[in-house]
Amino acid sequence: MARASDMHSLEFRLPDLGEGLTEAEIVRWLVEVGDLVAVDQPVVEVETAKALVDVPCPYGGVVTARFGEEGTELPVGAPLITVAVGASVSDGPAQADGERTEGSGNVLVGYGTSEAPARRRRVRPQQRVSAASNGRPEAPEPVEGPVPVISPLVRRLARENGLDLRQLTGSGPDGLILRADVEYALRAAEAHARVAPVAPARVAPAAPAATAAGGIRTPLKGVRGAVADKLSRSRREIPDATCWVDADATELMRARTAMNAAGGPKISLLALLARICTAALGRFPELNSTVDTEAREVVQLDHVHIGFAAQTERGLVVPVVRDAHARDAESLTAEFARLTEAARDGRLTPGELTGGTFTLNNYGVFGVDGSTPIINHPEAAMLGVGRIVPKPWVHEGELAVRQVVQLSLTFDHRVCDGGTAGGFLRYVADCVEQPAVLLRTL
């Protein structure tokens, strides 16, 4: 049996999560003091300004301390946990599969690590170490087993509503608990509460007038704080201007219907609009730029990474489709769908939320016709698309009912003048009205 002197403690600090992020909020601890953890096992769920991230510990051993309560914001480099490692841990079950106790480096889940064998098994977080067990993990109670749930949003939904996930039976593969399972359980609990006897409610004393007048205060942090900072910076630094035009989208909608009727994967309207934008940026590359304020230079970019606005439970996020200029409509549709699903589940990585060169904002899904987009700093332009609705329109000299959409372009006046912006927007409108224009210019 190993001596106590064979063990030593290692401190794991909040790693640099990339993309200039300097802090993160502890959403949920995944381990307790006394738990036995394996190398690269997630120990805490944190929320950055970009996404929810499970942070893995690069050390294997016994958790001896945690730093920060749930809801606490920590700067990068602040201590997260300390882990006791050494021979007594190596002799335990974690070594049975050939695992190593050395650290693997500060890596994020899914980023990979050269020190992590493919056959590593994850040690249950509920395994505790006590003095009576001579450094070996105690057998957990059956109720303490791991909960078969992956999505951080599902865990948060259950936690915020006081729902014990261990009481649920998942409908997903291998009993995986899905969001639908949590929502069903919450609805059932609500229905039960409606028919249960209700205790007389206590009347709370009236709040002082000064307190009532203060209203509700919501901290600007996390996603909301990041959005506020970026929009404020955009307004401060970018001399933007907006132009807009109404376009007859009837032929574009017909073309999409014909494409989807031909068999094969369905093509989304957003993908067609993105395809039009990449073609327009090829003709007006000034709008695919950024401004280097220190060098006082306009940097014209040679690739198109299109961001698109996605509304989620955590707020507005802008996932980025890489190399959109090299994708066809089918590939764009698939990537939009993948990123949208990841955004709703809170699974977007920091890399999938940064690096855009142009943003497409389809606010028509909210039932509005027009808006004035705010540029996604440090980009140079954003195209806004309103709802497509039947309206009176003069078509071929006759008054007719057509599918009309309003297109809005907000651009950085430092990178181009109104003529360039107007030319870009007019080309986009021409492609919407006559999709054959796009084919002629490819």
| Residue whose C-alpha is closest to residue 283's, from 325, 234, 345, 249 | 325
Helices (H), 48-160: 87-90, 152-160
Helices (H), 284-417: 329-345
My answer on whether omega of the bond before 152 falls inside 30° of 0, hence cis, is: no
Q: Are 432 and 424 in contact (CB under 8 A)?
A: no
3-state secondary structure of 147: coil
3-state secondary structure of 66: strand
Rounded CA-CA distance 370/246 in Å is 10
Q: Which of 8, 303, 395, 413 is catalytic?
A: 413
Q: Are 37 and 99 in contact (CB under 8 A)?
A: no
- Using a 10 angstrom Cβ sphere, with 0-12 exposed, 13-18 middle and 19 or more buried, the burial of residue 79 is middle
413 included as an active-site residue: yes
DSSP assignment string, 258-299: HHHHTSSSPPPHHHHHHHHHHHHHHH-GGGSEEEETTTTEEE
Rounded CA-CA distance 249/268 in Å is 14
Rounded CA-CA distance 212/214 in Å is 5
Can you read off the two tokens belonging to residue 113?
Answer: 């690590």
| Residue whose C-alpha is closest to residue 370's, from 331, 334, 332, 405 | 405
For β-strands 398-412 and 389-395, DSSP reports them as antiparallel
Can you read off the two tokens belonging to residue 191?
Answer: 């229905």
3-state secondary structure of 315: strand
For β-strands 289-292 and 73-75, DSSP reports them as unpaired
| Residue whose C-alpha is closest to residue 390's, from 378, 404, 379, 400 | 404
| Residue whose C-alpha is closest to residue 409's, from 394, 397, 419 | 419
Q: Which residues are catalytic?
A: 413
